[in-house]
């Protein structure tokens, strides 16, 4: 097991076993899944396994309408595996396997065929019985064109972009599953929209990282300055009012994927909290995001000039996902965090990690 898989497993273990099966029965939760930028379909496993939900992205990528999939078995998907690596058709593989399944070619009416990576995860109920199967498809069509013999050779050598993308998407989906579980548990049956709003922001942060990885090929290093800038832009676009100003300063700083992901999630969490809570009753304010480097390493500052933390409130709160993400950052980058909320208002969080621990 590599570092990224180990961290995902630790997060999953830390989160416990919340009632995601119950959450999937909520129309509000399904409406949230409609917005997730990954093709997702869900089957009910309580009896004979049948599809009960598919989001719009799954419709687009598979070429099937959700209405035509409901109450159908997975075997309806007869797409063949690619390069003879997976002899079973897609539907059979989904029903038999878990985790990453393989790469498949899907023929679609009135549009070009799609090549997809397929993933299958079983969701258990509170008693540990299989309740739902969640299937995700990731479009890798752009990575299947060109010289197929050359691609096959590179695949055998485990040194191709396709293999790297498969591996990273797998780890990202593990993190997304963990995020879904903690938010479903926190909702406690109320299904308030706010938790899923926060979840959407976290998924955005992971998607931005995935995009950067895809853009630069098989390189394991991410420019932290570029990544945090894009995270900040996404958060402000989703939540900022007209009077909120961002003071952004970033330096070039190469870090590993395992450092970039928790850093981006922590920064996303802090920026989202500031935009939602720091400026209540005010029409203007300033949020600071600095990621500056020197010969020793990197210092990240996220601050606001808002009302500060209420008396008796701490961040991150124990038992919440933010605390798990902060702990992941401490472990992956050996980072130190300093949190300051003075009586006169505002919140400042400083993250420091040394250059030797960044990659």
* Together in a domain, 251 and 147: no
Q: Cis peptide leading into 260, omega within 30 of 0?
A: no
At 186, is the pLDDT very low, low, confident or very high (cuts 50, 70, 90)?
Answer: low
> Does residue 319 carry a pLDDT above 80?
no
Torsion from C-alpha of 82, 85, 88, 91, nearest 10 degrees: -60
Write down the pLDDT at residue 5. Answer: 45
At 303, is the pLDDT very low, low, confident or very high (cuts 50, 70, 90)?
Answer: very high
- Residue 207 within a domain: no
Q: Is 355 buried (19+), middle (13-18) or exposed (0-12) by CB count in 10 A?
A: middle
Q: Which residues of 21-60 are buried (b: 16+ CB within 10 A; e: fewer)?
A: bbbbeeeebeebbeebebbbbbbbbeeebebbbbbebbbe
At 6, is the pLDDT very low, low, confident or very high (cuts 50, 70, 90)?
Answer: very low
Q: What is the DSSP string of 236-252?
A: HHHH--TTEEEEEEE--
* Together in a domain, 40 and 187: yes
Q: Which tokens go with 324? A: 């798990």
At 287, is the pLDDT very low, low, confident or very high (cuts 50, 70, 90)?
Answer: very high
* Together in a domain, 163 and 245: no
Q: Between 215 and 308, whose confidence is greater?
A: 308
Taking each helix axis from N to C end, the angle separating 3-15 and 161-187, rounded to the nearest 10 degrees, works out to: 10
Taking each helix axis from N to C end, the angle separating 161-187 and 193-215, rounded to the nearest 10 degrees, works out to: 170
Hey, which residues does 223 pair with through a beta bridge? 254
Query: CA–CA distance from 104 to each of 86, 90, 119 (Å)?
Result: 8, 7, 11
- Residue 309 within a domain: yes
At 327, is the pLDDT very low, low, confident or very high (cuts 50, 70, 90)?
Answer: confident
Query: CA–CA distance from 101 to each of 36, 96, 126, 213 (Å)?
Result: 21, 9, 26, 21
* Together in a domain, 155 and 260: no
Q: Between 258 and 289, whose confidence is greater?
A: 289
Q: Which of 216, 218, 36, 219 is nearest to 137 (CA)?
A: 36
> Does residue 117 carry a pLDDT above 70?
yes
| Ramachandran quadrant class, 164 (left: phi over 0; alpha: psi -120 to 50; beta: rest) | alpha
At 16, is the pLDDT very low, low, confident or very high (cuts 50, 70, 90)?
Answer: very low
- Residue 213 within a domain: no
Q: Which residues of 142-178 are buried (b: 16+ CB within 10 A; e: fewer)?
A: ebbeeeeeebeebbeeeebbbbbbbebbbbbbbbbbb
Average pLDDT, rounded, for the chain: 75
Range(s) of the domain holding residue 102: 3-199
* Together in a domain, 230 and 188: no
> Does residue 228 carry a pLDDT above 90?
yes
Which tens digit of pLDDT belongs to each residue from 68-81? 998 999 988 888 87
Q: Between 305 and 237, whose confidence is greater?
A: 305
Domain CATH code at residue 231: 3.30.565.10
Give the dihedral sign, CA 350/173/139/100. positive
Q: Which of residues 146, 165, 199 is at a domain's end? A: 199
Rg (CA), the chain: 21
- For the chain, how many structural domains are there in total? 2
Mean pLDDT of 285-291: 94
> Does residue 8 carry a pLDDT above 50?
no
* Together in a domain, 183 and 83: yes
Mean pLDDT of 310-316: 84
* Together in a domain, 192 and 262: no
> Does residue 51 carry a pLDDT above 60?
yes
Q: Between 344 and 336, whose confidence is greater?
A: 336
Write down the pLDDT at residue 190. Answer: 56
Percentage of the chain lying above the pLDDT 70 cut: 66
Write down the pLDDT at residue 138. Answer: 81
The answer to whether the CB of 251 falls within 8 A of the CB of 291 is yes
> Does residue 49 carry a pLDDT above 60?
yes
Query: CA–CA distance from 33 to each of 92, 323, 328 (Å)?
Result: 24, 24, 26
Tokens 């990202």 belong to residue: 172
Q: Between 144 and 117, whose confidence is greater?
A: 117
Mean pLDDT of 282-306: 92
* Together in a domain, 234 and 176: no
> Does residue 325 carry a pLDDT above 70?
yes
């Amino acid at each position: 097991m590599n570092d990224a898989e180990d961290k995902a497993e630790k997060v999953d273990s830390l989160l416990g076993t919340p009632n995601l099966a119950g959450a999937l029965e909520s129309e509000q939760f399904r409406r949230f899944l409609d917005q997730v930028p990954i093709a997702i379909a869900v089957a009910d496993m309580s009896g004979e396994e049948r599809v009960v939900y598919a989001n719009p992205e799954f419709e687009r990528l598979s070429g099937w309408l959700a209405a035509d999939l409901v109450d159908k078995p997975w075997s309806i998907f007869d797409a063949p595996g690619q390069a003879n690596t997976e002899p079973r058709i897609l539907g059979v593989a989904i029903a038999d396997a878990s985790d990453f399944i393989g790469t498949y070619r899907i023929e679609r009416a009135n549009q070009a065929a799609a090549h997809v990576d397929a993933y299958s995860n079983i969701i258990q109920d509170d008693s540990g019985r299989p309740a739902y199967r969640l299937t995700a498809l990731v479009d890798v069509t752009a990575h299947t064109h060109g010289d197929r013999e050359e691609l096959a050779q590179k695949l055998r050598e485990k040194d191709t972009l396709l293999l790297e993308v498969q591996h990273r998407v797998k780890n990202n989906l593990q993190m997304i599953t963990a995020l879904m579980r903690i938010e479903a548990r926190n909702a406690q049956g109320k299904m308030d929209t706010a938790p899923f709003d926060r979840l959407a922001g976290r998924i955005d942060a992971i998607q931005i990282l995935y995009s950067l990885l895809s853009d630069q090929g098989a390189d394991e290093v991410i420019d932290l300055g570029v990544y945090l800038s894009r995270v900040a832009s996404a958060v402000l676009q989703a939540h900022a009012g007209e009077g909120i100003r961002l003071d952004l300063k970033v330096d070039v700083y190469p870090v590993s994927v395992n450092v970039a992901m928790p850093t981006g999630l922590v920064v996303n969490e802090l920026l989202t909290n500031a935009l939602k809570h720091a400026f209540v009753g005010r029409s203007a304010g300033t949020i600071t995001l600095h990621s500056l480097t020197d010969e020793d390493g990197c210092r990240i500052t996220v601050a606001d000039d808002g009302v500060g933390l209420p008396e008796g409130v701490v961040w991150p709160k124990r038992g919440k996902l933010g605390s798990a993400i902060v702990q992941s950052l401490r472990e992956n980058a050996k980072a130190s965090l300093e949190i300051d909320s003075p009586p006169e208002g505002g919140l400042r969080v400083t993250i420091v990690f040394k250059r030797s621990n960044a990659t």
